[in-house]
């Protein structure tokens, strides 16, 4: 089966683009691609939060890494004594979840609360890339309205 790399399309997206995430998820071969479940929240125009359900994991068992435009969240459980379950509905498996970040998005912090891992992101566009007003004949656009 041929795989499709959607990474170049992310560079043209602002923040996160849900369509590319849906296509990437539909294209995933790995059955555990949906674990752990997560939400992406837009808190303001340039601030985002990823919330992942990581019940049963301690802070020390989680690792968050950002390299260029990729955010990697990895969870690795410490081996415990063998248990005998009558029913096991809580997933206790190791995971690795990758997120493609748009240009100029960086991780600003991470917190763990009630089994939820919150990763805060912020988009900081460099001054040279931000829109600026251009003067016409030495007058600003506002002055021309008079």
The mean pLDDT of 95-120, rounded to a whole number, is: 93
Q: Is the pLDDT of residue 144 over 60?
A: no
Min mean pLDDT across 52-66, 82-96, 99-113 is at: 82-96
> What residue spans define the domains of the chain?
7-144
Q: What's the whole-number average pLDDT of the chain?
A: 79
Q: Is the pLDDT of residue 25 over 70?
A: no
Residues 52-71: pLDDT tens digits?
999 889 999 999 999 988 99
| Topology given in CATH for the domain delimited by 7-144 | Immunoglobulin-like (2.60.40)
- Measured over the CA atoms of residue 106, residue 50, residue 27 and residue 29, the dihedral's sign is positive
The two structure tokens encoding residue 86: 């009558």
SS3 143: helix
Peptide bond into 59 cis (omega under 30): no
**Of the candidates 42, 24, 44, 41, the residue with the CA atom closest to the CA atom of residue 33:** 24
SS3 77: coil
DSSP assigned state of 26: H
Question: pTM for this structure?
Answer: 0.65
């Amino acid at each position: 089966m041929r795989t499709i790399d959607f990474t170049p399309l992310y560079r043209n997206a602002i923040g996160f683009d849900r369509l590319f995430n849906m296509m990437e998820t539909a294209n995933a071969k790995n059955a555990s691609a949906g674990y752990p479940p997560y939400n992406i929240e837009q808190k303001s125009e340039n601030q985002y939060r990823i919330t992942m359900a990581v019940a049963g994991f301690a802070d020390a068992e989680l690792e968050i890494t950002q390299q260029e435009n990729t955010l990697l969240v990895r969870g690795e459980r410490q081996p415990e004594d063998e248990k005998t379950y009558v029913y096991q509905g809580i997933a206790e498996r190791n995971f690795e979840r990758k997120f493609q970040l748009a240009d100029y998005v960086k991780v600003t912090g991470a917190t763990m609360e009630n089994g939820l891992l919150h990763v805060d992101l912020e988009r900081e566009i460099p001054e040279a890339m931000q829109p600026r007003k251009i003067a016409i004949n030495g007058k600003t656009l506002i002055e021309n309205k008079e």
